[in-house]
Structure 1
Amino acid sequence: MDTKDKQNPALWNRNFVQCCLSYFLMNFAFYMLVPTLPVYLVDELGIEASEVGLVMASYTIGLMCVRPFSGYLVDCFSRKPLYLFSFIVFAGLFAGYLVAVTMAGIIAVRFLQGGFMGLTSVSGNTIAIDVIPSQRRGEGMGFYGLAVNLGMSLAPLAALPLYGWKGFDSLVVAGLMIAFIGVFSVSLIRYPKRERVSRPSFSLDRFILLKALPAAFSYMFVAIPYGMILSFVVLYGKETGISDPGYFFIFMAVGVGTSRLVSGRLVDHGKIHTVSVCSLVSLVISFMLFALVHNEILFFSLALTIGMGFGISVPAFQCLFVNVAPHHMRGTATSTFLTSLDLGVGIGMLSAGFIASYTNLSVAYLSGAGCCVASLLVYLCWVRDSYERNKL
């Protein structure tokens, strides 16, 4: 291998392709249910609309119960067998929707599926980090994260017509089959068995990467407006007179996808702080305009810039976590990264509804801009110096 190859090793090898494909299929299968399950609950099972939120939130509760421990499991046991096991259980739980015909039964299925999706995502992310050449980690994680966005964006486009044509059971069977194709993709990853690593009995870093706490606080703040977008942007569009506000997510996905084509490379070339700060400044401006100016052209234009802001930030922030963790703690680093995202999204979903009940969603999104300012201040005052001291 010549010097050029060593400096710029291949990214799209067999293992990385299978990592991206399996992660895409997992998210595609799961997000097929997100727009259709509420309709099924109300129209076919007769569940009150006010109770649908509890059913949908049970997945998040399961996710949060498992996420803090998943990094420890990934760091202490062989990663590929753990990934396969959790993915198989996650996929198999789709069958639970076929037999659970009560609200309590569906809550139980979603709670379990959320827990195993939490373990699957952490183990899959960690394996992806391991197979990506360190010189191209930012670029690789940008493309790997794009698999999530593609799954989230394309799944509803396929799910809604299928639900209308064949019904919920056929949709669930399709999700089951797609998830098991993802399991097969995981089995094709060539990943060496890993010996169990002994850890201190009562060590906090079993569950949280302490060196990454500054980045976790900053990322949690910026994830709050992301949660607001996921849960209330369609309602906000209707309130402000936007026709077809659901297209917001397509423009946002385009922004995420295009930005990740370049942001990861900038991170790999030592521009991690520049990329992070620029993304946060962009989000501050975008959310301020989103809250204060209401017209259709700007609504969809800001969907694009908000997507670009989040798309730029994700590979940069994930590298802030991974680059301060030794190899045997990459699972903990990934778990800490995803936990900070989950906390921020959850806070955003709850706070937007609370704020809107007293004022309106414009105020909620303006507070989201304030959260981005808080994230920027934490980054400038704490994250940057902490990262430079602790990076490996």
Structure 2
Amino acid sequence: MEDRKPILWNRNFVQCCISYFLMNFSFYMLMPTMPVYLVEVLGIDTANVGIALSSYTIGLLCVRPFSGFLVDCFSRKPLYLFAFFVFAFMFGGYLVATAMLTIMAVRFIQGGFMGLTSVAGNTIAIDVIPSSRRGEGMGFYGLTINLAMSLAPLVAVTIYGKGGFYPVVSVGWVAAFVGVGSVCLIRYPKREKVPRPHFSLDRFILVKALPAALAYILVAIPYGMITSFVVLYGKEIMVADPGYFFIYMAIGVGTSRLVSGKLVDHGKIHWVSVCSSVCLLVTFAVFATVHQSWVFFACALMIGIGYGVGVPAFQCLFINVAPHNMRGTATSTYLTSFDLGVGIGMLSAGFIASCAGLATAYGVGAGCCLASLCIYLRWVKPSYEKHKLPD
């Protein structure tokens, strides 16, 4: 009886997973349908669609570094509830915004509050997960976003085909507000404002985790290349139905996360991280050079496994070096690193593709994974062992 593990799936953790799933589900319903709506209904030039869509990312990156500071200074649940409410409320803006500038404004504001919502939600989830099962818990928690990214586009495209863009927005709006209700059910103690020291970089960035942040940015770059250009790449190399890439990738992520978190909790954080980087390095190298349909989808599965294995380990690299009152900053640094890498990947893939083709871009992605692996072995591992805090 003494060795019985603490309960992971308690009421609070279940509600954290439900609310995070609904936040991402509602937002990712817009991803496949908004470009079509902007071009076909509003008549916005295709070249400007990317600008309109990227305003969300700009808003997110503007807020993320400060969101960790806010989460660490104020009561986390009220802040989470407020940010989630504003994020949900902004869906109404898509029903009245009919010009590019107004749509950009709505996406910028919603992106900013999504950044704050995700940091607050991640931090609360970390707080309610037993420390001995943190890797496993964060693996399941992160799986909710993969489920949302897989299911939301399918639902959204079906609704759009039958009723257009406004029903898609309405369903997303309802899902987001149900998520707000789920947050209300989380039993989380109120937390008084914590006095902070005078101005320092640690207010906004977890300095002790900077080596891990650099390695994570590099490994996120090819992920940005995948999410934005893999369908075009599939068409280039004559793959039938390249959109199924994301289904295979989601399967890889889902299956690998069932075991990776447990390995992290058993002290194998470095082994898991290195295996993830090696898997991604080899897979992207094959993906860039072997142009056959079965290889294309096999690589999708392996890329999903690589990221599914690595994400819980990388998140623990940030969380385990932060004291409790800086977990918000740690989460913010972790998420900002990934977002920055994804953004670099999106921009660089387009530039490289225009000069040398998408195959070359994915070859560069493999190089990024190699650089990340070298940085991990040289700096991240010793830095983590030096600064890791007891549970």
Normalising TM by the smaller chain, what interval?
Answer: over 0.9
Counterpart Cα distance in 2 of 1:24 and 1:173:
17
What are the Cα deviations for residues 73-130 of structure 1, in whole angstroms up to 9, with x where unaligned? 0000000000000000000000000011111110000000000000000000000000
1:77 equivalenced with 2:74 (yes/no): yes
Gaps of 5+ in 2: none
Q: Who is 2:2 aligned against?
A: 3
What are the Cα deviations for residues 200-242 of structure 1, in whole angstroms up to 9, with x where unaligned? 2311101000000010000000000000000000000000000
1:368 equivalenced with 2:365 (yes/no): yes
Q: Who is 1:45 aligned against?
A: 42
Aligned positions of 1:86-165 closer than 5 A: 86-165=83-162
**How many pairs are equivalent?**
389
1:43 is displaced (CA, Å) by 0.5
Counterpart Cα distance in 2 of 1:48 and 1:178:
30
1:276 equivalenced with 2:273 (yes/no): yes
Gaps of 5+ in 1: none
Q: What TM-score, normalized by structure 1, do the two folds share?
A: 0.99
Q: 1:389 aligns with which of 365, 386, 390?
A: 386
What are the Cα deviations for residues 346-380 of structure 1, in whole angstroms up to 9, with x where unaligned? 00000000001111000000000000000000000
The code of the aligned residue for 1:317 comes to F
What are the Cα deviations for residues 298-334 of structure 1, in whole angstroms up to 9, with x where unaligned? 1001100000000000000000000000000000000
1:12 equivalenced with 2:9 (yes/no): yes
Q: Who is 1:293 aligned against?
A: 290
The code of the aligned residue for 2:372 comes to S
Q: Who is 1:308 aligned against?
A: 305
Counterpart Cα distance in 2 of 1:65 and 1:200:
23
SS in 2 for 1:34: helix
Counterpart Cα distance in 2 of 1:133 and 1:180:
28
Counterpart Cα distance in 1 of 2:240 and 2:98:
35
Q: 2:62 aligns with which of 53, 62, 65?
A: 65
Q: Who is 1:180 aligned against?
A: 177
What are the Cα deviations for residues 329-349 of structure 1, in whole angstroms up to 9, with x where unaligned? 000000000010011000000
Counterpart Cα distance in 2 of 1:235 and 1:166:
27
Counterpart Cα distance in 2 of 1:100 and 1:334:
33
Counterpart Cα distance in 2 of 1:175 and 1:284:
36
Counterpart Cα distance in 2 of 1:180 and 1:80:
16
Q: 1:199 aligns with which of 183, 196, 201?
A: 196
Q: 1:325 aligns with which of 322, 342, 361?
A: 322
The code of the aligned residue for 1:350 comes to L
What do you get for the CA RMSD once the two structures are aligned? Answer: 0.5
**Regions of 4+ moved over 6 Å:** none
Counterpart Cα distance in 1 of 2:78 and 2:114:
15
Counterpart Cα distance in 2 of 1:201 and 1:56:
37
Q: What TM-score, normalized by structure 2, do the two folds share?
A: 0.99
